Each structure stands twice: as C-alpha cells, then as structure tokens.
Structure 1
Amino acid sequence: MARIVNAAAAQMGPIAKSETRKDTVRRLVEMMREAKARGSDLVVFTEMALTTFFPRWLIEDEAELDSYYETEMPGPQTQPLFDEAKKLGIGFYLGYAELAHEDGRKRRFNTSILVDRSGNIVGKYRKVHLPGHAEPQPGRTHQHLEKRYFEPGNFGFKVWRAFGGVMGMCICNDRRWPETYRVMGLQGVEMVMLGYNTPYDHTGHKDIDSLTQFHNHLSMQAGAYQNATWVIGTAKCGVEEGSNMCAQSAIIAPSGEIIAQAVSLEDEVITARCDLDLGQRYRQTIFNFAKHREPEAYRLIVERKGAEPPPEA
C-alpha cells in the first residue's frame, strides 16, 4: 500500500515592516485552510514567516531587534495557527526568528518547527549555513546581515518520524549545500521541508545574481534526486520593503522532477500527492548507499589532504 502525504507549499508575498504578527498569522491561517480544502495533510510555510526579512537593515536598538524574534512557540500571537491546525487536522512547517536564553546567555537562531495534525511540535531545527555578513557592506541598497543577527544552528540535521514517513527540515541557504541533504539522506529521509527568503541581489555580482531562480531550483532538485527524497521549497517573494525576492516555490519528487510550482509573486498555495515509496525505488537502485557508496574512499581523501599533488600529465 502506497504511503501518501498530500503536501502543500504556502508561498508568501511580501510582509511589510508595519505588518503585525496578528495580520501575518491571519494570512497563514487562510492559506492553511485552503491547503486543507484541497486535501492536504501538511502545509509548508516559509522561512521567517512571521515578519519582514529584517536582516536587510542595520538595527542597533536592542529592543527593536528583539521585537522580530519569538521567545516561545506557540506564543499568544501564534497560538491561533496551532489551534487552527488542530481543528482542521493538518500539520505544518513554520520558519521564524528565535530568541532563546541558553547556557546563561541570550542566543538568536533562524529556526523552523514541524507540527503534527494535533497541533503538537514534533521537531525543531536551527539554520546551520548562515549567508551574508556580520557588518554592513558599503554600496548595498539592502544589507544581508544574517551573520550579525543569528548564530549557526546547534541541532545538526536530524530527522523525525511523522506523517507516516521520515521527515527532515532545513532553511534557505542550507539548500545550496549537498551535505544538508546527505546527512539526512543517510538517516533515510523521505521528505525535506524548507523555506527561503532569497533576494535577487544576494551576492552583489550581477552574473551570479541573474541566475538566482536557476540556482534555487538546481540545488533543490539535485538534493532530491541524489538522496531519493521529496523536497518542498517555499518562498517569501515579491518586492518586500524595496527588495526583490525570489519566488517559484516548488514541490520536487525523488526523481528530481518539479511536479508543482507557484506562478505568482503573492500568497499562493500549491499542492501535490507525494508517494513516499517513490523514494524507495531510487534507494534500492541508483542511490543504494549500502551497496554503492564508498565512505572509505572519502576517508582516504581526507587523510591525504596536504600531501604532495600528483605530477601533471
């Protein structure tokens, strides 16, 4: 019997700086209802889905900076999202900025959670691969200060058994790094959920930035295919506070094929019937890690690091 997860990606249009949590949660609830009406078991929201992408600005006032972070989840302003999920019987992935007090100090993370159909948090992830800068860069209309406002995640890449399969999470820039998918792939991941807020000018080099849409899909499709997993990538898009954001949210099969894609620059729900057993075929054939992967070869390469290079042919 096939293991089906009816999944949705809930792409978000811009969130204005003036938009309140209540306004934003209302938008998320509406998309959750649409996803459920279309038969979805799980809806994937985007990275930092509760606020505008504040790392585009230098914020020196501590109280202002703190206002963008969640200190508890759920909290009073996000509880309606959990209540609606429980009422509808639908799970969700949600990205947000997290402020935690751990190890005797204030810590900031770019975080996502996985919530089951009963409204309970079953998994939590903190973004590992932080892009951008710690200090403002001259000549940029919009900054990219994730390294200033977050520290790298300390949970690693875990997987969780939920929705009848093995689920994984990552966030935005994580999608570009093959080890993100491979670490989860080695744990048998069957569906990877990720949200992203990607501006078109994120590198500052026009030749690279002009390929933003291509690289977005390339990295997710490669990760899906090479690790025999479904990937659901959900964007924050449109022109947000003057910054152009990448769209094209997508649901990608273990074959690497895009089977559903958003077409707008606004709030938009896309859905797909995801057969988790499809990944099994790839894990039993092309990407049978036990039979075909050679970790010993990687060890030898590491051990030889620093040795004299081979003579040129």
Structure 2
Amino acid sequence: MEAVDRLIHLLEQAAARGAELAVFPEMALTTFFPRWNLNDDAEIAGYYESQFPGPQTQLLCDAARKLKTGFALGYSESVEEGGRVRRFNTMALVGQDGELIGRYRKMHIPGSESPEEGTTVHLERRYFEPGNLGFPVFAYRGVRVGLALCNDRRWPETWRMLCLNGAQVVLVGYNTPVLLDEAPALAHLRMFHNHLPMQAGAYQNTVWIAASAKAGLEEGQALLGGSCIIAPSGEIASLASSVGDEVITHRADLDLIATCQRVNFDFARYRRPSEYALISERAGPLE
C-alpha cells in the first residue's frame, strides 16, 4: 500500500505540471525480488499481481480518472493460461478514465535461473518467462503508444518492431544496478550505456521515449536511476537529477517525428525489407 501511495503522489505532481501521460518504473509495486534466490513458493507468490487493477492498484486507477492523467505501470503478473500458471514481467497502460487500455509482457528476460559465480545475482529468468504478446501499440488520445521494460531497451529490435507497428511514443520502465560484479572495468560507463541504446533507438526510429527508473538504495543494492525523456532527434529533453522520488516532464512535439523522418528515416521511402531477405538467402547458411 505504501508503494501505491507514493505512486499516487507522483501522479498528482505530474498532473499539476500539466502531464497527460506518466510512466512508472519496472516492478514498481515491489522490491526487485529477482536479486534473491527464493525457494518459498508462498513468499514468491506474494510478489505477483493476479489481476490488474487489483484492490490496491485500483486506487491508482481512480487517481488517474480524477486527475485525467493516464499512466504506464510495471508489475509482476501471475495469470492462468493454457491450464497452467504463467508469470510475466508486465507493464500496463491505463487511460485518463482510469480504465486499462492494454498490457505488454517483457520479451528480453536477462540473467539466469540460479546464481552464477562472479556474476551479480540477477535471477529474472527464474521468476519470469518471455512475453507472449509481441510488441503491441495502443491508441492513447490519438497518439500511438508502445511499451517496453528494462533489458528490452538494449535491443534494437525492440524499437524497430514498436515503430514498424506505428509507435510515436514509447514508455519504458527499468531497474538497473549501479555496479555489475562481472564487469568492474565498465563501471564508469553504466549511465552512458543506460542512455545510449535509448537515444539511438529514438533517433533511428524517430520516436519519443519516456523512461522511468528506480533509483537509490533498495534492499542493499544501489540502483542507477537516470530517468529521462528523449526526443526523436536522439537528444535528452529532460533528465532526472536525483536518486529520490522525482518527477520530470516535457511537452513532446509530435511534429518533430515527421521532421526527423524527412532527414534520414522515412521507413516507407528508404526501408527495403524484401531486398534484405533476398540478400540473406544468397548468403546461405552460416557454417
């Protein structure tokens, strides 16, 4: 309940600044429990939402309706499909009326199923399976909105698929540790590598990106933060400056998308998927 109260307070701040749509971090309702090697099934089940909205998240949806400000929220989802319980790392998109518009299930699940020596404990594959909804794009007040979660942002196909599906804005939630045990030599590049794929994705696909991160110390692990809003030009238009609860806003000029497309990335004019496939066939299989 404390997490929901904090989210409502942040949504109120965003609405007071004139925001029409907000994005919250990945797994915003709980700690990032995949950092632990848990074995108690009842304890594990307690981290998942079996419905959305549920009794507590309905309060956040009610606030959205009152404030007329929609939001995207990352959470751990448990659902029965195909006669079995399935668990996904999920993001829900809620409209200004407080109603669920749609959801996305994280495609790129990082980490492992059990601890590995010399590697930061990150057992996301133990607790989640890859998403099965593809890269859907939803209509939000006349704007086409896509969703992504954490590790998705590092893969170019995430941005390409969302934008081929018509996204104008992509909302991202993430949790990223400040340090990785397996790569101490790259520690000074953590924030650079955080923003780099998102800026490249925005530029190459002419899309607005709003990315929201947990920050500060959580259960003994320092989280990177770096929440940002990125323009289709690849520029960071707004950037968080602290590791506390913070709201950043920017009024996105959707006309900038067309401007950037005219420069280099008009998919309809320049992209040639049929030729790419032909070249691949000529190359033959890899030995």
TM category (shorter chain) comes to over 0.9
Report the equivalent of 1:35.
Answer: 14
Matched, 1:199 2:177: yes
User: Whose helix fraction is larger, Structure 1's or Structure 2's?
Assistant: 2
Report the equivalent of 2:100.
Answer: 121
Report the equivalent of 1:44.
Answer: 23
> How far has the Cα of 1:307 moved from its partner?
5.8
> How far has the Cα of 1:301 moved from its partner?
4.0
Matched, 1:63 2:42: yes
* Equivalent-residue separation in structure 1 for 2:109 and 2:189 (angstroms): 20
Report the equivalent of 1:143.
Answer: 121
Q: Is the 8 A contact 1:144 1:202 kept in 2?
A: no
Relative CO higher for 1 or 2, CA cutoff 8 Å, sep ≥ 6?
A: 1
1:133 equivalent among 100, 112, 116: 112
Structure 1: state its 5+ residue gaps: 1-21, 309-313
> How far has the Cα of 1:186 moved from its partner?
1.1
Number of equivalent positions: 286
Matched, 1:72 2:54: no
Structure 2: state its 5+ residue gaps: none
Q: Is the 8 A contact 2:118 2:181 kept in 1?
A: no
**% identical equivalent positions:** 52
* Equivalent-residue separation in structure 1 for 2:4 and 2:166 (angstroms): 33
CA RMSD of the aligned region, Å?
1.4
1:228 equivalent among 177, 183, 206: 206
> How far has the Cα of 1:220 moved from its partner?
0.6
* Equivalent-residue separation in structure 1 for 2:134 and 2:186 (angstroms): 29
Q: How does 1:204-215 map to 2 (within 5 A)?
A: 204-215=182-193
> How far has the Cα of 1:211 moved from its partner?
1.4
> How far has the Cα of 1:165 moved from its partner?
1.0
Quickly say closer, same or farther: Cα 1:305–1:236, change in 2 above 3 A: farther
* Equivalent-residue separation in structure 2 for 1:232 and 1:298 (angstroms): 31
Q: Is the 8 A contact 1:203 1:209 kept in 2?
A: no
* Equivalent-residue separation in structure 2 for 1:203 and 1:120 (angstroms): 42
Question: Which digits, 9 at most, give the CA deviation of each residue in 1:253-289, with x for residues without a partner?
Answer: 0110001000000100000011112112222341111
1:104 equivalent among 83, 87, 95: 83
Runs of 4+ in 1 over 3 A off after TM superposition: none
* Equivalent-residue separation in structure 1 for 2:124 and 2:187 (angstroms): 18
| TM-score normalised to structure 2 length | 0.96
Report the equivalent of 1:251.
Answer: 229
DSSP 3-state at the match of 2:234: coil
**Counterpart amino acid of residue 44 in structure 1:** V
DSSP 3-state at the match of 1:232: strand
Q: Is the 8 A contact 1:112 1:171 kept in 2?
A: yes
* Equivalent-residue separation in structure 1 for 2:108 and 2:188 (angstroms): 22
Report the equivalent of 2:239.
Answer: 261
* Equivalent-residue separation in structure 2 for 1:121 and 1:223 (angstroms): 27
DSSP 3-state at the match of 1:25: helix
